[in-house]
Amino acid sequence: MRRAFLPILIVLVGLGLVVTFFQGPIAMRVVSAALERNATVEPSTGRADGLHVVLCGAGGPLPDTVRSGPCVAIIAGEHLYLVDVGSGATRRLAQMSLQPGFVKGVFLTHFHSDHIDGLGELGTLRWVGGPNRLPLPVYGAEGVTEIVGGLNQAYRLDATYRTAHHGVEVAAPTGAGLRAMSFAEPPKGESTVVLEENGLRVTMFRVDHPPVSPAVGYRFDYGGRSVVVSGDTSKSENLERFAEGVDLLVHEALSPELMAVIGNGATNAGRDAMAKIAADVLTYHATPVEAAETAATVGAGHLLYYHVVPPMPIPGLASVFLKGVDAAYDGPVTLGKDGTEIGLPVGSDRIDVR
């Protein structure tokens, strides 16, 4: 028996040595092919004409292994836009084969740090990641000019280095940085069309996130399909007005039960400031059940949770987060993570979840 086993062992060892010897070249070929594919694939590749939503950041300000800072990618036909750019979101884009060089514009909901702290990185990678000869348009309410101006100043020296190193053909000075597209925050009951091109209409409306002001959400309409992104808000009648009949409602949510655990732990550890923050955030965010109630009120075809707070690092916590949701809304619900994608093909009422 041992003698019969010996040739097999020799073969296995030999195969192991061969794999070890060639794994470097094989890995290099795999990486080369993947980079070539990812660098050339356009946002619409493999997607039917329509509206497609991809979560490039499904989390909030707290560290989360599966949810980066808030970022919603909107693919309308052939064109890619983002709503907010939180920490880590730009790198998530590239991992999902959505190259920053294709981003045509960013829509900011408000100016909390976790919604804008990836914007500078996006601006740089978008500039040198494609033939972009003009700065990246950044749409938002009053204050967006100040945000954009500050980031442009912060990245000014970096931009001059890149042009000097790579040349004007790769890093044209005219394409560096960001360009503010500022609009007045609409009064409650009113909305403002901030972009209308290539069959896409983007509408801004006010939401409830005091003391943060301005704070807005956006509605995207393309080819008879529609998406509403809430931004940060408590339960908002104004949002409900402009989300009426929407195919997909992308709504933030914060779990009071899970935040109470964080608050109690902070109190027991003598971290009074952290405990106060854990209590304060409850006043200007919607609960999962409230977001579900909104989805039911507006007749949304699907509810997608993003800006999921707090992180849920162990199994079982998702059921706590979603407790009571099915009683408030009888439609389909997705608890978003980075990479969650929902497609709304033109000429159909389908809602496709990846």
CA 58 remoteness from chain centre: 6
Domain boundaries, the chain: 47-353
Residue 58's closest CA among 48, 72, 46, 45?
Answer: 72
Fold of 47-353: Metallo-beta-lactamase; Chain A (3.60.15)
pLDDT score for 25: 74
pLDDT at position 178: 98
The pLDDT of residue 354 is 87
Helical ranges in the chain per DSSP H? 2-40, 89-95, 113-116, 119-128, 144-154, 156-166, 237-242, 256-268, 272-280, 288-298, 317-321, 325-328
* Rounded mean pLDDT for each run of 10 residues along the chain, 354 residues in total: 58 62 66 57 92 98 95 98 96 93 98 97 94 95 98 97 94 96 98 98 98 98 98 98 98 97 95 95 97 98 98 94 98 98 97 95
Q: What is the DSSP letter of 340?
A: -
pLDDT of residue 123: 97
| Residue of 124, 121, 123 whose CA lies nearest to 137 | 123
> Can you state the percent helix, strand and coil of the chain, rounding each to 5?
40, 25, 35
C-beta separation of 57 from 84 below 8 A: yes
pLDDT (0 to 100) of residue 185: 98
